[in-house]
Structure 1
Amino acid sequence: MARPTARPVLNAAKEIGDQVTTWRKLLGLTAEQVAERAGISRETLRRIEHGDPGVNFAAVLSVSRGLGLLDRIVTATDPYETDLGRARADQALPQRVRRSG
């Protein structure tokens, strides 16, 4: 039996869906145009815009690409774009070994 989706995940999915809708409208695109650009059905786009957390991850990324947001999402999740990520990466990554010759 599947576990219920956590409330913070549901809230985030709803907020992202609202933001996708807003971006689509700001860009002057119809739902049909975005769905076509993303290579998904209008129904799948509707589910994304309504915050359905069960939508395929590739579909969400495809819509993001169709709206010109994909690079921003990739950057937003890059640990090297944060102070913590850069600091921890310096600690966690193995140092290069120099050979004397």
Structure 2
Amino acid sequence: MARKTPAVERTLVEFGESIRSWRSIRGLPGAVVAERAGISRDTLRSIESGKGTASLAAVVAVMEALGISSSMTNAVEPLNTEIGRNRAALINRKRVRAHAIR
């Protein structure tokens, strides 16, 4: 497992709080989100508390269950950033996707 620096720990906690907030906004109990994501309630608690022990697949499944998985993929898409667009040739992209242009 990767070493958890203070910055990583802080990000995990903030991410977990955001997931919990989305669940609250959607009005969904943890048991429902866990069931829809195909994970245990304990795994959902782990994600929401920022422990950093859940698999990426579990995190993505929870985000899908909450209807926010596209936000995550958009957030990490290099072509959605100025530096990514400027250096697109370095990632072997032939064109900028239409959704990346703003």
TM-score (norm 2): 0.84
The 5 Å alignment of 1:4-19 reads 4-19=3-18
The 5 Å alignment of 1:1-101 reads 4-90=3-89, 92=90, 93=92
Q: Which runs of 5+ in 2 are unaligned?
A: 95-102
Report the Cα distance in structure 1 between the residues aligned to 2:26 and 2:2, rounded to whole angstroms. 37
- Count of residue pairs the alignment pairs up: 93
Displaced runs of 4+ in structure 1, greater than 2 A? 92-95
Q: Which runs of 5+ in 1 are unaligned?
A: 96-101
Query: Which structure has more helix as a fraction of its residues?
Result: 2
Deviations 1:29-75 (A, max 9, x none): 00000001100000000000000112111101100100011001000
Give how far 1:3 is off: 5.9
Contact 1:9 1:53 in 2 (8 A): no
Higher gyration radius (CA): 1
